[in-house]
Structure 1
Amino acid sequence: MNTDNFTPRRLPVGIQSFEKLRSEGFVYVDKTALIYKLIQAGVPCFLSRPRRFGKSLLLSTIEAYFKGKRELFRGLAMEQLEKNWYEYPVLHLSLNAEKYDSKERLADMLERQLQAWEQLYQTGGKGITYSGRFMTVIKQAYEQTGRRVVVLIDEYDKPLLRSFDNSKLQDDFRETLTAFYTVLKDADPWLQFVLITGVTKFAQMGIFSNLNQLSDISFDLDYNTLCGMTLPEIETTFVPELEAMALKQKLSHEALLEKMTRLYDGYRFTNDEEFTPMYNPFSVLNALMKRAFGSYWFGSGTPTFLVDMLKKTNFDLREMDGIQVGALSLSDDRADVNNPVPMVYQSGYLTIKKYDERFNMYTLGFPNEEVKYGFLNFATPFYTPVSQNDTNFYIGKFIHELETGDTDSFLTRLRAFFADFPYELNREKENNYQIVFYLVFKLMGQFTESEVRSACGRADAVVKTPEYIYVFEFKLDGSAEAALRQIDEKGYLIPYTADERRLIKVGVSFDKEKRNLGEWLIEQATEEINKP
């Protein structure tokens, strides 16, 4: 294929309307067999997925199905599965659009939606509560049409997510939404199907405590692939786009998919070992449309509140990638701002890596490189005096010095980096300097092989460049000689002795009082290395 002759198809980046997607010729990854399975189960459901993972399109597809729009499903699995195509009344509520900076904003949104439904079903509604009006609409829709009602609620938690720093507003939103959503329990005789979606369960804060008939399918293996994309779906649906992107990027088909996997794959929404890892659909579609790799999902929203919570709670960033949490913390409906990790997980910045059935424990980690480096880049200014725009500048300088073998300049720059820290910033946390080391070496991993110690028996940091392998050991209030001695005595160089690159040992002392690097010693490993 010559990319000059490539005619791009319409990829549904940001398209949330199933009718628009199908009627205007956008490419669609067919999820309708799974949607049909969910609908036929007939159970009121709740689904949590990160932002831009296709929740709104999912609800729009379900709405089109229940409105009997068979023509939109032509050529899809649903066309063969459904034989009757009855039309049901659908009440579709989306809380996604508003800013929600006051209780009046939520009231205005509910008022507009209720008035539209009341006009459609001629229920009136003046003089009664929002919940009373909602119940009246449901009953009237059932009586007028003779069919039970479908209720779809999109981004139910948006008002609460936008107001975590305002406890009074949280209370107001919670009171209003609890009364509104609880209607669905008493209205069950008139309901055909209910699906509520959101980013996080932790914003519920008791909102659904009385709505105990909801089945949370967020962790169900059966619906693991309901939102997002699998590798087979990508390879089957986007054949010409993959070919065109491979040509533009000068990569083989295999190398292109390998890079796409590193950047965008890795989401796991179940504890079952048979899970299918999911690709971020927003990033995949953008990459295929632009035929270029980029930080599309991360760039579409900033985790300011989450990083601020991590900082305020003195959370050690080094623990995030590989942290273990109890199962209850991922399924409980109570948000705890003093324990930010579950919120970080639900927001899509962490995902399930392993599950220990015996102890009912999850191991969480960054799903992929887009999220890992995006998050760490974003977090760096919260822990250092470096602005977000300057982070890559510093990292680039660090890497250049190590690639050219100028270890002394690298450490001198690192010392200057610490010297720029305001005293209060360093004083906030005793091991803040360790977090900064972690950030520097982790961010270097975007451009070269870089590791930070995560287990005993490993050096503090290892950096691999085309010509060198550096093994770093930092000593708090210890000597550089002691750091070098530990590298030798613990055998930190042994895993790299078969490599033809030059091995460089770097021992560094860190002065706790001065809050900066002290002395350092640099040695090239030339003698035979024996196991300790």
Structure 2
Amino acid sequence: GVLRNIMRNFYSPLKACDPYLKYVFLTGITKFSQLSIFSELNNIENISMDESYAAICGISEGEIRSQMKEDVERLAAKLNISPEEVLLKLKENYDGYHFTYPSPDIYNPFSLLMSMAKGKIDSYWFGSGTPTYLIKMLEKFGVEPSEIGNNHAEVSAFDAPTETMTDIIPLLYQSGYITIKDYDESIDLYTLDIPNKEVRLGLMKSLLPNYVASKTRETTTMVAYLSRDIRNDDMDSALRRLQTFLSTIPYCDNTRYEGHYQQMFYIIFSLLGSFVDIEVRTPRGRVDVVLRTKTTLYVMELKLDKTAGEAMEQINLKNYPESFALCGLPVVKVAINFDSERGTIGDWMIEK
């Protein structure tokens, strides 16, 4: 209520200036309902999802290629790669925002300009602080890390006033943690997902302490080594490393439920995403991880307090290798059983 009054006092004077104002553009992160703030400004139009304004904020790919050509070349020289490779890296890390559908690809302007200024591709948007409020809200609405991405919703569910929000979607969408990735006209549903690698990694790093009670630095180091093992096609060492790591860290308070371990795996493997391609499919609770290195495709199944054998049966049942035959890489099946008693990996099986 207080915020609303402050905002109202801020906008009221605009009404008196009506004769002198030709064009007023209001922007911000959160949407308020029209009535609560703008009763004084009755002729205001919301262009948030208007196609003709899709690229009014942010920087589009076209603009990078034309107006920022020199900056891209400078960054390429600094990183010792070709301009085309730089564009791919910038795209993967900072692109992926769409505020309507169809829409040009919009890059995060802050991160993009910082990477040009600093001469390296890094996490700039998240570097500005941990989203404590977001973590609290995820807890309040009971949202698991794996449920943040890949949502389907109609416009009214995400382009909605956050003051009346009944789930987390409007907050995630309006603050840039998820964005529009697709639209199905026949049922009028949008697909919302995490925009890019920078947001995914930043988000997962922020959520990790809720699942792994360890120093962030130790975890980051472990993830880096883990990814090196996997890139060297030594999955056995990777799992042994993870087993040791998990058995040396203290329990978190909230390990009451089965999903806890799967979410922890989800986060740890998502963090590998900066080193290997990853796809994690999780209909709530169960985790299938698909990891892709330059030479191998790993298909993983995680079970809790069962056996690695049962996890392997599940993989064979789903006939994964066939569905991945197209990518032309040899498929390696990895079955893992998690031991909740010991709080770490129990046994595993790896089949080529």
Structure 1 residue 316, shift from structure 2 partner: 1.5
Query: In structure 2, what residue type is equivalent to 1:238?
Result: M
Structure 1 residue 199, shift from structure 2 partner: 1.4
Is 1:409 the counterpart of 2:240 in the alignment? no
Query: In structure 1, what residue type is equivalent to 2:306?
Result: G
Cα distance per residue 1:15-43 (max 9 Å; x no partner): xxxxxxxxxxxxxxxxxxxxxxxxxxxxx
Cα distance in 1 between the residues matched to 2:132 and 2:34: 20
Cα distance in 2 between the residues matched to 1:422 and 1:312: 22
Is 1:310 the counterpart of 2:138 in the alignment? yes
Give yes or no for contact 1:441–1:451 (8 Å, CA) kept in 2: no
Give yes or no for contact 2:305–2:339 (8 Å, CA) kept in 1: yes
Is 1:208 the counterpart of 2:41 in the alignment? no
Which 10-residue stretch deviates more, 442-451 or 359-368?
Answer: 359-368
Q: Determine helix, strand or coil for the equivalent of 1:422.
A: coil
Q: Which residue of 2 aligns with 1:85?
A: none
Cα distance in 2 between the residues matched to 1:503 and 1:333: 46
Give yes or no for contact 2:262–2:302 (8 Å, CA) kept in 1: no
Correspondence for 1:475 among 282, 285, 303: 303
Structure 1 residue 303, shift from structure 2 partner: 1.9
Q: Which residue of 2 aligns with 1:226?
A: 56
Cα distance in 2 between the residues matched to 1:182 and 1:362: 35
Is 1:342 the counterpart of 2:170 in the alignment? yes
Cα 1:298–1:202 shift into 2, 3 Å: farther
Cα 1:414–1:220 shift into 2, 3 Å: same
Query: Under a length normalisation based on structure 2, what TM-score does the superposition of the two structures give?
Result: 0.87
Q: Which residue of 2 aligns with 1:353?
A: 181
Give yes or no for contact 1:459–1:471 (8 Å, CA) kept in 2: no
1:181-260 → structure 2 map (5 Å cutoff):
181-182=11-12, 184-185=14-15, 188=18, 191-202=21-32, 206-208=36-38, 211-260=41-90
Cα distance in 1 between the residues matched to 2:160 and 2:119: 41
Cα distance in 2 between the residues matched to 1:371 and 1:205: 33
Structure 1 residue 379, shift from structure 2 partner: 1.9
Cα distance in 2 between the residues matched to 1:502 and 1:358: 38
Cα 1:490–1:215 shift into 2, 3 Å: same
Correspondence for 1:267 among 77, 82, 97: 97
Q: Which residue of 2 aligns with 1:147?
A: none
Query: Under a length normalisation based on structure 1, what TM-score does the superposition of the two structures give?
Result: 0.59
Structure 2 unaligned blocks of 5 or more: none
Cα distance per residue 1:355-382 (max 9 Å; x no partner): 2334332211121212221222222123
Give yes or no for contact 2:266–2:287 (8 Å, CA) kept in 1: no
Give yes or no for contact 1:318–1:438 (8 Å, CA) kept in 2: yes
Cα 1:386–1:336 shift into 2, 3 Å: farther
Cα distance in 1 between the residues matched to 2:245 and 2:91: 34
Query: In structure 1, what residue type is equivalent to 2:64?
Result: I
Bigger Rg, structure 1 or 2: 1
Cα 1:311–1:239 shift into 2, 3 Å: same
Cα distance per residue 1:455-505 (max 9 Å; x no partner): 79x981122334443221112343221211222232112245577765432
Structure 1 unaligned blocks of 5 or more: 1-170, 526-532
Correspondence for 2:253 among 399, 424, 427: 424
Structure 1 residue 332, shift from structure 2 partner: 2.4
Cα distance in 2 between the residues matched to 1:500 and 1:355: 30
Q: Determine helix, strand or coil for the equivalent of 1:302.
A: coil
Structure 1 residue 352, shift from structure 2 partner: 0.9
Structure 1 residue 268, shift from structure 2 partner: 0.8
1:63-142 → structure 2 map (5 Å cutoff):
none
Structure 1 residue 246, shift from structure 2 partner: 1.8
> Number of residues paired by the alignment?
350
Correspondence for 1:373 among 174, 180, 201: 201
Give yes or no for contact 2:213–2:252 (8 Å, CA) kept in 1: no
**RMSD between aligned alpha carbons?**
2.9
Structure 1 residue 454, shift from structure 2 partner: 4.7
Structure 1 residue 515, shift from structure 2 partner: 4.7
Correspondence for 2:148 among 302, 320, 328: 320
Structure 1 residue 287, shift from structure 2 partner: 2.1
Is 1:493 the counterpart of 2:327 in the alignment? no
Cα distance per residue 1:219-243 (max 9 Å; x no partner): 1112122121112212221232222
Q: Determine helix, strand or coil for the equivalent of 1:493.
A: helix
Cα distance per residue 1:41-84 (max 9 Å; x no partner): xxxxxxxxxxxxxxxxxxxxxxxxxxxxxxxxxxxxxxxxxxxx
Is 1:175 the counterpart of 2:2 in the alignment? no
Is 1:388 the counterpart of 2:245 in the alignment? no
